[in-house]
Chain A
């Protein structure tokens, strides 16, 4: 270590000399990062390049470059009889060497044993607890044809108010003999704020009903809806949930539905890139549920190749 001692006027920082290898490391790291986006192969290649050049760089810094071989020393002049065969210098495993390896090894094993379960507990359960039950939204008669209804329900009543979600539901009339619904999630496709319907909300017509599972469902009709908009960063959508303006990267998510005993049952939600047409005859470009802000179509979809279970 070099010491900084201004009083002695001797100020020689221990700075590394010039070296070309960092360029290789930089290329490798860049390759690795690009690979993260494109393909695991490129990650491996980038990682390899960085390791190789990183090693060369370190060997440069250490003052023992790999490339430069020391000039071969002349063979020692041997005169007289060959030296007696050397006795081995003591045991290869010393007591202290063994003890330090044992301490490190045992410490490592104990450390792993006690730290793996907590880390597991912190990281894995979020990917396991995925039981979304269908929600009973009540009798079909609550949803007049062509009318948007703000519908609020509990995803998991046992969790309380924090699981309250809102969907915008419109009955489109029958399609091939089956009732057709448009059920749009209020989760903004930008970063998840609650989008609001642009229309005349009629709070005095609010209805609250209890359905089969003890779920409490609230409905509020909205007149003359011209689309949806988000309070957070101004994302705007049309009545089919297509993005019309602002930062959202795709259309609004929707819910699957089914009809049981004359009740509307809310199923799983899914993501939508865009919707062609409108109402019962709409063609929905449907994708697996994806987090807000993530592209599901276009070239940007390569950023999100794998989705955790939703």
Chain B
């Protein structure tokens, strides 16, 4: 349908063409708006670098997730070949040493960053009303993160891994009443065996990452909903201003580039 459009500059035209797919997506899902809302939401003017520690933790987690998926393509969770497969990754697979190194060192980085992030939240008093629930979710994330460390440590199946896990499982076994049952469940039997490795592998790569991703989703939802706190030395009152109020009302079905209606429906 050829319709005379208002004349526009070449630049604008190119922009419109480039952004057309985004407009298409936005009109059908609202996703572009959602991402823009997330990226350009207001934060207090005096936020500082310590408030990037949460995003740093998130980045560390994503690195673990991606390198972990790739390692899983070469690793075999079988007592008779696990160690060999780790050696294979380290010595034979192209850049395997790098990806394994990233995953192994990244594990510590992730845990350390979680603690730094938690320290900043604590020292800024950012756990206070109305963010108590986000602190609680954070504590769950911390516990799950450490469990990732515990279950992942066994997988290389060398002497350090094996005996550290023996000690770790038996440590759980000393808990009152349920301790002995907990250690049996962790071992998958009364003795460490092939089931233990398979069990740890499944928990490490399926159960915990899924749980952590879900909780990160909730965590970020609350961060966006409640806004981030100003630092404690801030002159302004804490809390998020309600940004919707001072924004002009959005015209319905507004395109990203220009509110020019497509398909010839002249305004």
Contacts and interface: CB of A to CB of B under 8 A. Distances in A.
Contacts of A193: 163, 166-167
28 contacts: A4-B240, A5-B241, A6-B236, A6-B238, A11-B239, A14-B129, A15-B129, A36-B177, A123-B185, A125-B195, A126-B184, A126-B189, A127-B184, A130-B189, A156-B193, A160-B194, A162-B79, A162-B193, A162-B194, A191-B166, A192-B166, A291-B170, A292-B174, A294-B180, A303-B177, A304-B179, A308-B181, A310-B190
Given A303-B176, A310-B190, A7 B241 contact: yes
B97 to A, nearest CB: 26
Contacts of A67: none
Interface residues of A, number: 44
A307 interface: yes
A307 B176 CA distance: 11
Interface of B: 79-80, 129-130, 163, 166-167, 169-171, 173-174, 176-177, 179-181, 183-185, 187-195, 197, 236-242
Contacts of A7: 241
B134 to A, nearest CB: 14
A269 to B, nearest CB: 10
A191 B176 contact: no
Interface in A147-184: 155-156, 159-163
A15 B128 CA distance: 11
Contacts of A134: none
Interface string A33-47: 000110000000000
B163 A304 contact: no
Nearest to B80: A160
Contacts, number: 111
A126 B199 CA distance: 11
A302 B48 CA distance: 52
Interface in A1-20: 3-7, 9, 11, 13-15
A129 B239 contact: no
A105 interface: no
A11 B237 contact: yes
A127 B129 CA distance: 45
Centre residue among A9, A232, A308 by max chain B CB count within 10 A:
A308
B170 A163 contact: no
Nearest to A165: B191
Contacts of B189: 125-126, 129-130
Interface centre among B80, B183, B238 (most CB of A within 10 A): B183
A294 B188 contact: no
Given A5-B242, A37-B176, A37-B177, A160 B185 contact: no
A72 B130 CA distance: 38
Contacts of B174: 191, 291-294
